[in-house]
Amino acid sequence: MFELLEVKNLSVSFHTPQGEVEAVRDLSLSLHPGEVLAIVGESGCGKSVLCKSVMKLLPRNARIKAGTILADGTDVTRCSQRDMERLRGRLFSMVLQDPMTALHPAMTIGAQIAEAVRAHQPRMTKMAVRRRVLELMELVGIDMAEERYGHCPFEFSGGMRQRTVMAIALASSPKILLADEPTTALDVTIQAQILDLLRDIQARLGTSAILVTHDLGVVARAADRAAVMYAGKIVEIGTVEDIFYDPRHPYTWGLLRALPAWAEEGQPLYTIPGMPPSLLHPPKGDAFACRNEYALAIDYQEAPPMFQLSDTHFAATWLLDERAPQITPPWRGASYE
């Protein structure tokens, strides 16, 4: 199967005064054409860094240490600054978390979208650009586009701003959309609208998307496949059905069990004990071992490989090794009431 995006053995580090922080550690991942892949994890697990690595928009103190990122056949890690400028917007583009800060505060909405349109079509006439901008605004559901063309971001609500950001991201018809927590800063009702818009656009334009989020509800609503990330690694990846109805990694169990939606009345919520490890000096072996109630001795020694469970489902835990003791998973899959 042709992969639109293929990340192989990627390692990204930040150089801080305290030392090297290994934000992404030997991560491999692929994105199929026309799907929405969710990346779930807690803050600091490296999910945003992964996104920015693909776009090569990492901060100055970050470095891609090893690995390749093949985007539509091009190895992004080897691209120069100029090459990246040509790829951004056309091959992939980004939707940021906070629409309040993502738009230039003093430029009109229309001008900001127009800029994105012209970035890859500098010869386009003014009229054509305007027509395209209005078309994009309609596509993302900004009504009264003519009138709102000249508005500034501060006159827009959060949801409208996020729609604007999406219009900007879609301006040059990218093949991959990287959405970094696109709904976290929004209200629930707006969140639902934006997620539906994302799905709708994905279906209409055939764009593939990576959806970074910490909210499993968002994953359930908008994603086809999901990857669970912990401490810079993917611990489990599969279709959303695999992840929600047949999770195999203890961390995935923990995440699902901790959701208040599943809590029994009057009972305390399930919590994963402890805190995520510092990536300044990642622990030896499985990073999740010290929070894992099913940890085996080998977890503290050696990091588990990815075990294949089916064509789509992979998990990295020693529990799946044939020598491991059989345990009954505490989570038998989602079932709402």
Partner 1 sequence: MRRKNPFIYYGGKLAGLAVSVFVLSLAVFYIARLAPGDPLVSYYGDRAEKMTAEERAQAEERLGLDEPVHIQYTRWLGRALQGDFGISYKYKTDVTQIIADRLPNTLLLGGTGFAVIFAGALAVGALCAWNEGNLLDRIICKVGTVVSCIPEFWLSLVLILVFAVQLRWLPSSGAYTLGGGGGADRAVHLILPLTVTAAGHLWYYAYMIRNRLLEELRSDYVLLAKSKGLRRRDVLLRHCLRSILPGYLSLMAISVPHILGGTYIVETVFSYPGIGTLSYESARYQDYNLLMLLCILSGSVVILSNMLAQIISERIDPRMRGEMPAEVTEHG
Partner 2 sequence: MSEILLDVQELTHCFRLGRNTVIRAVDHVSFQLRRGEIFGLVGESGSGKSTVARCIMSLIRPAAGKIRYLGVNICDPGQFRAHRKLLQTSRQLIFQDSAASLNPRMKVADIITEPMAIHHIRPPRGSLRQEAAFQLKCVGMDPSSLDRRPGELSGGQRQRVAIARALSMGPELLVADEPIASLDVSIQAQIINLFQHLQREHGFTFLFIAHDLAVVRHLCDRTGVMFQGRLVEIAPSKELFDNPLHPYTRALLSAIPIPDPRLERARVPQRFDPAQFCREGLLREVSPGHMVLREEADR
CB of residue 331 vs partner 2: minimum separation in angstroms?
11
Helical segments of 206-264, H only: 216-222, 240-245, 250-257
Q: Does 103 bind partner 1 (CB under 8 A)?
A: yes
Residues 264-323 that bind partner 2 (CB under 8 A): 265, 268-272, 275
Q: Does 256 bind partner 2 (CB under 8 A)?
A: yes
DSSP string of 108-173, one letter each residue: -HHHHHHHHHHHH-TT--HHHHHHHHHHHHHHTT-SSHHHHTT--GGGS-HHHHHHHHHHHHHTT-
Q: Rounded to whole angstroms, how far apart are CA atoms 85 and 199? A: 27
Task: Please identify, using beta-carbon distances, which residue of 178 and 272 lies nearer to partner 2.
Answer: 272
Q: Does 64 bind partner 1 (CB under 8 A)?
A: no
Q: Is 91 exposed, middle or buried (0-12, 13-18, 19+ CB in 10 A)?
A: buried
Q: Rounded to whole angstroms, how far apart are CA atoms 166 and 94? A: 8
Residue from the set 25, 88, 163, 225 that interacts with partner 1 by CB under 8 A: 88
Q: Does 334 bind partner 1 (CB under 8 A)?
A: no
Report what 258 binds from partner 1, partner 2, none; CB cut-off 5-8 Å by kind: partner 2
Q: Does 284 bind partner 1 (CB under 8 A)?
A: no
Task: Please identify, using beta-carbon distances, which residue of 190 and 315 lies nearer to partner 2.
Answer: 190
Phi, psi dihedral angles at 167 (to 5 degrees): -60, -40
Whose tokens are 């696109």? That residue is 182
Contacts with partner 1, 137-176, as mask; x by CB under 8 A: ---------------x-xx---------x--xx-xx----
Is residue 15 within 8 A of residue 1, CB to CB? The reply is no
Q: Does 329 bind partner 2 (CB under 8 A)?
A: no
Q: Does 240 bind partner 2 (CB under 8 A)?
A: yes
Reported as half-sphere exposure (CB side, CA atoms, 13 A), residue 228 has a value of 26
- Of 1-9, 52-60, 274-282, 302-310, which segment contacts partner 1 by CB under 8 A? 52-60
Q: Rounded to whole angstroms, how far apart are CA atoms 238 and 241? A: 8
Beta bridge partners of 212: 39, 180
Kindly determine how many residues on this chain lie close enough to bind partner 1 according to the rule CB under 8 A. 36
Q: Does 105 bind partner 1 (CB under 8 A)?
A: yes
Measure CA of the first residue to CA of the last residue in the chain; give whole Å. 38
Q: Does 90 bind partner 1 (CB under 8 A)?
A: yes
CB of residue 228 vs partner 2: minimum separation in angstroms?
12
Residues 149-208 that bind partner 2 (CB under 8 A): 158, 187-193, 195-196
Q: Rounded to whole angstroms, how far apart are CA atoms 274 and 306? A: 24
Which residues are near partner 2 by CB under 8 A? 42-43, 158, 187-193, 195-196, 214-221, 223, 240-241, 244, 254-256, 258-263, 265, 268-272, 275, 334-336
